[in-house]
Amino acid sequence: MRLALSTAAAPDLGLAELIDACVRRGLAGLELVSGDAHGVGPECPVEELAEARRAAEAAGIAIAAFRAADRAEACSRAAARLSAVCRAPVILPRDTAGIPEDELVAAARVFAEEGGVLLVAHGTDAEAVAALRRAIEQAPAGSLGLAWDVDPGDPGLVARLGAVLDAAGPHLRHVLLIGGGPEAAGQEGRGVGPLMGRLALARYDGAIALAPSTPRYRYAWGAWLGRRGGWGCGSRAGGGLPVRLDLER
């Protein structure tokens, strides 16, 4: 497994700043959320996408995934091309799940033609995962998989995580952990330890992207990521010291 940063933690940062933040924190990847300031999206020319991937890789950071805004964006040929060029799966967001099985399989075929991978986000519901598995088994091999959005605020997480992992099997390719980072200490007893232990024993080797549980924590995430300046603490004050201490007597 490798920890990654969701750009939801710092939606206003450009790609270079995000890469620096990952390096500072020892994170191995970036989950790019559609529309954030990283500048990567299905509308980008191939050269720009390739340049973004190269910039990340040069710093030892992988683009772990691109989380699309909606079903139309996720299932487009342009998204499939992004996936192939960035060597990263595209995630169909959870709130657009419920897409008919044949449409998922059709979208997966487009991804297979372009050399990309489409992942369908799901929650901690083993039955929903089992239903998605049926579509995965009809799709071209390797073109469709699962992305688990894990919410430690879900009181049933510990009881259900084994069933979800069993249902997902080898098709689980990405995990989004809501919280982590500066929020980790506040998640005691919410199943993060059992989750990480079970993922390790299942030999899960995909990314675990960390994202804030609420935008209210963005300040804490910014501090955790080592952002400087712009916090209203005077760190951007220019033109010499604004405060003088006359200590001579």
Partner 1 sequence: MSEAGQKLPELDVRVIPPREKHPTIFATFEALRPGESFILVNDHDPRPLRYQFEFEYTGQYDWQYLEQGPVVWRVQISKL
**DSSP assignment, residue 121?**
E
Report DSSP letters for 218-233, one per residue.
HHHHHHHTT--S-SSS
- State the minimum distance, in angstroms, from the CB of residue 18 to partner 1: 16
Is residue 200 within the footprint of partner 1 (CB under 8 A)? Answer: yes
Binding test (CB under 8 A) with partner 1, winner from 58, 98, 188, 247: 188
- State the minimum distance, in angstroms, from the CB of residue 118 to partner 1: 24
Binding test (CB under 8 A) with partner 1, winner from 26, 98, 238, 242: 26
- Taking the C-alpha atoms of residue 225 and residue 20, their distance in angstroms, rounded to an integer, is 9
For partner 1, which stretch binds (CB under 8 A), given 41-49, 82-90, 101-109, 184-192? 184-192
Is-contact 39 243, C-beta < 8 A?
A: no
Is residue 201 within the footprint of partner 1 (CB under 8 A)? Answer: yes
- State the minimum distance, in angstroms, from the CB of residue 192 to partner 1: 5
Is residue 10 within the footprint of partner 1 (CB under 8 A)? Answer: no
- State the minimum distance, in angstroms, from the CB of residue 23 to partner 1: 8
Is residue 206 within the footprint of partner 1 (CB under 8 A)? Answer: no
Is residue 220 within the footprint of partner 1 (CB under 8 A)? Answer: no
Binding test (CB under 8 A) with partner 1, winner from 142, 156, 169, 186: 186
For partner 1, which stretch binds (CB under 8 A), given 67-75, 108-116, 193-201, 222-230? 193-201
Given the complex with partner 1, which of 25 and 109 has the nearer CB atom? 25
C-beta atoms surrounding 140 within 10 Å? 13
Is residue 210 within the footprint of partner 1 (CB under 8 A)? Answer: yes
Is-contact 41 64, C-beta < 8 A?
A: no
SS3 content of the chain, % helix, strand, coil (to 5): 45, 20, 35
- Taking the C-alpha atoms of residue 6 and residue 29, their distance in angstroms, rounded to an integer, is 9
Which structure tokens are listed for 224?
A: 């955790």
- Taking the C-alpha atoms of residue 90 and residue 42, their distance in angstroms, rounded to an integer, is 10
Is residue 208 within the footprint of partner 1 (CB under 8 A)? Answer: yes
- CA distance readout (Å), 227 to 49, 85, 182: 25, 29, 13
- Local structure of 129: helix, strand or coil: helix
Binding test (CB under 8 A) with partner 1, winner from 29, 89, 93, 181: 181
Is residue 180 within the footprint of partner 1 (CB under 8 A)? Answer: yes
Is residue 9 within the footprint of partner 1 (CB under 8 A)? Answer: no
Which structure tokens are listed for 24?
A: 């500072």
- Closest-CA residue to 108 (of 75, 152, 67, 59): 75
Q: Note the residues at the interface with partner 1 (CB under 8 A).
A: 1-3, 23-26, 177, 179-181, 184-190, 192-194, 196-197, 200-203, 205, 208, 210
